[in-house]
Structure 1
């Protein structure tokens, strides 16, 4: 995939990550091309699945979700059907911001956002604990966000 991206594509991506609402005219000025080639490049990157969509990014803090907890999860069954059931169930929990299957000492890592410790305890007791094939959990409360929502490099 990286072989198909040139320096201009990377500049376009960088600008879109920073501001997906940038106009084609403004983006064209930033990358030094006219509007048509910039539009065609964006369309190509969408068509090949590099750009998968555009969305509003909400502030969890402004929504009152300032409590972040990372939860290590161990499951009792790692056969495909069990993993699919776990994956489907965890996707239905709105407080789960991220969930990754992990190769290591546990099976999943969940990033959970809640209003406060009481809300976190409620989510753990009523939602996380009810996940299928859950064997055990270990929780780690974040004290401060040092890097968050970094767009990466292109």
Structure 2
């Protein structure tokens, strides 16, 4: 890993781009696409994995086909933002499977959640029973997504 802002050269960046789009590509095909032989390509992949740049490989599931078509974004404001309260919220939100993403935000609210459920009734239950019950939640505001224009994994 040399050159570039993160120390990646053009081959490293090419490997990462191809793997991000097609994680199941064979090493032989990857090598062909980036213009290196198989052995140096595999060595670079191993180095990127060991450095933690490639964190893993996984299947990308279609949430709509899995019955999880409803997406809502939830602003969460906490009643307490001291470090212990933030840690308690962070730990607890990890246990809510419907929360697909959770980001601490520098704004008039404290967290932004992406919540995926089957439908609005299911979302209402998750909001009432799980999200509102998280430690130190003072208030929430919900924004329902009508259409995903772009989602990158």
Category of TM-score, reference length = shorter chain: over 0.9
Structure 2 gap ranges (5+): none
> How far has the Cα of 1:68 moved from its partner?
0.5
Q: Which residue of 1 aligns with 2:145?
A: 142
The reply to whether residue 67 of structure 1 matches residue 61 of structure 2 is no
Deviates more, 1:21-30 or 1:40-49: 40-49
> How far has the Cα of 1:86 moved from its partner?
0.3
Aligned length in residues: 150
Task: Give the match's secondary structure for 1:49.
Answer: coil
Residue 119 (structure 2) aligned to one of 103, 108, 116: 116
The reply to whether residue 39 of structure 1 matches residue 42 of structure 2 is yes
Give the TM-score normalised by the residue count of structure 2.
Answer: 0.95
Task: Give the match's secondary structure for 1:68.
Answer: strand
Give the TM-score normalised by the residue count of structure 1.
Answer: 0.94
Q: Which residue of 2 aligns with 1:12?
A: 15
Structure 1 gap ranges (5+): none
2: CA distance, partners of 1:79 / 1:53: 33
The structure 1 segments of at least 4 consecutive aligned residues displaced by more than 3 Å after TM superposition are none
> How far has the Cα of 1:2 moved from its partner?
3.0
The reply to whether residue 50 of structure 1 matches residue 53 of structure 2 is yes
Change (3 A) 1:137 1:3: closer
1:21-63 Cα offsets, whole Å, 9 max, x none, are: 1000001100111111001111111122211111111111110
1:77-119 Cα offsets, whole Å, 9 max, x none, are: 1111111110111110010000000001100000000100100
2: CA distance, partners of 1:2 / 1:53: 22
Task: Give the match's secondary structure for 1:127.
Answer: helix
Q: Which residue of 2 aligns with 1:79?
A: 82
The reply to whether residue 29 of structure 1 matches residue 32 of structure 2 is yes
